[in-house]
Amino acid sequence: MTNEEEGVGGGAGAVEGSGDGVDPGSSAGAAGADPGGPEADELVILSAFERMSPQGTPDWALTDSLRRLSQPTAGVAASAPWTGLPDDLWERGRAAKAGQRMMGDVIAELADLMDRHARHILEAGDKELRDRLVAAWDAARYLAARLEVLESRVDPTDDLLIDPGLLVEAPDLSVWADAAPSWFGDANGDRPILVGESAPSLAASLRAAGHRVREVEPNGSQAWDSLGSDPAGEVVLGGLVETVDGLDRTELAGAVLAGVTDRFDLAAQLSLVRQTLRAVQPSGSLVVLVTDRVAWNGRLTAIGRDLVRGHPLHPETWLVLLDRLGIVDPIWHRPASGDVHAVVGTVAS
């Protein structure tokens, strides 16, 4: 047998790119171009193996799941085609008279046939719906995995829970203890003032003035010290960002932000302020305590120089940012001693 007779080199077989061949993915291609191909049940098994095969990266898996979610389906009409009435439907009647046969046996047989076809349509529709739901679920979970990868690239140390004390020495905030109550006006016990992180002297001063205070302290020993000095006080053992994220809208009478506002990068600083503004009631006060940059650099530990992502912003920068975020008349207070500045403003009503 020659190559031409075997379909090689220009014989009867379709040539790639010629436009004369049949799409192998079409039903015609499956039935005509490759009669010796896998049977329908084999295709189902191969498809199952493909779905259960190890997935690629979250990026690849997300793209694949979105492809499955967006691609058009064959539709129920193609999945459950109507094959027509059987040729022997009339002969299936048993009554002697034609009228009785039509109104009785043949109609009953036809109703049963239509019922079976309707069930077939429902089963086909259920399968398409299940496939769509699986694709949507895959898209959601792979999107979550992709976001985790991106977050780990932005902050690879976030899940390591490194003690802030290992990064930079905490500044002395006690210089503002006497002035703090004046920033928040008359005491109102309905809503708390959020104070954090590592600002026990300010929290104690506000409590002494009659304010309800919710102190946020990531250091366990300091949290116990705060509870020991005021067993009735509200002390949250945890991070300031996680605490603020869990607050309801207008839950706070005001807030004092310290510590993280020195260590975070600009995006994280602004995100924290925005979330805090959401939680502070209208006309409530927002205070940002910021360390002098030169003094802060001197407090950085060797670990902090390697791992800290951000740095303190200049108080003038905070004035501009808070003004753009809707804070009314932010004011920069210079310290009488020490190196921690205070920027104070009012949340717009």
The reply to whether 169 and 118 lie within a common domain is no
10 inside domain: no
The reply to whether 338 and 251 lie within a common domain is yes
225 inside domain: yes
pLDDT digits (tens, 9 = 90+) for 266-311: 999 999 999 999 999 999 999 999 999 999 999 999 999 998 888 9
The per-residue pLDDT for 44 is 77
The per-residue pLDDT for 11 is 42
327 inside domain: yes
23 inside domain: no
Kindly report the pTM of this predicted structure. Answer: 0.60
pLDDT digits (tens, 9 = 90+) for 54-65: 556 767 777 777
Q: Could you list the pLDDT tens digit for every one of the 349 residues in the chain?
A: 444 444 334 444 333 343 443 343 443 444 444 556 667 777 777 776 666 555 567 677 777 777 777 766 555 555 566 677 777 766 766 655 666 655 667 777 777 777 777 777 777 766 676 777 777 777 777 777 777 777 777 777 766 667 777 888 888 899 999 999 999 988 877 899 999 888 889 999 999 999 999 999 887 777 888 777 777 778 998 889 889 999 999 999 999 999 888 988 999 999 999 999 999 999 999 999 999 999 999 999 999 999 888 899 999 999 999 999 999 999 999 999 999 999 999 999 8
The per-residue pLDDT for 76 is 55
Query: Among 124, 154, 184, which residue terminates a domain?
Result: 154
Query: Among 119, 154, 189, which residue terminates a domain?
Result: 154
2 inside domain: no
The reply to whether 121 and 69 lie within a common domain is yes
30 inside domain: no
69 inside domain: yes
The reply to whether 325 and 197 lie within a common domain is yes
The reply to whether 279 and 187 lie within a common domain is yes
The reply to whether 112 and 208 lie within a common domain is no
The per-residue pLDDT for 133 is 73
For residue 176, the domain's CATH number is 3.40.50.150
The reply to whether 297 and 342 lie within a common domain is yes
The reply to whether 109 and 175 lie within a common domain is no
The reply to whether 66 and 172 lie within a common domain is no
HEC assignment per residue over the chain: CCCCCCCCCCCCCCCCCCCCCCCCCCHHHHHHHCCCCCCHHHHHHHHHHHHHCCCCCHHHHHHHHHHHHHCCCCCHHHHCCCCCCCCCCHHHCCCCCHHHHHHHHHHHHHHHHHHHHHHHHHHHHHHHHHHHHHHHHHHHHHHHHHHHHHHHHHCCCHHHCCCHHHCECCCCCHHHCCCHHHHCCCCCCCCCEEEECCCHHHHHHHHHCCCCEEEEECCHHHHHHHHHHCCCCEEEECCHHHHHHCCCCCCEEEEEECCHHHHCCHHHHHHHHHHHHHHEEEEEEEEEEEECHHHHHHHECHHHHHHCCCCCCCHHHHHHHHHHCCEEEEEEECCCCCCEEEEEEEECC
The reply to whether 187 and 99 lie within a common domain is no
Query: Among 88, 122, 154, which residue terminates a domain?
Result: 154
Residues of the domain holding 250? 164-347
The reply to whether 253 and 299 lie within a common domain is yes
* Number of domains into which the chain is organized: 2
The reply to whether 149 and 173 lie within a common domain is no
3 inside domain: no
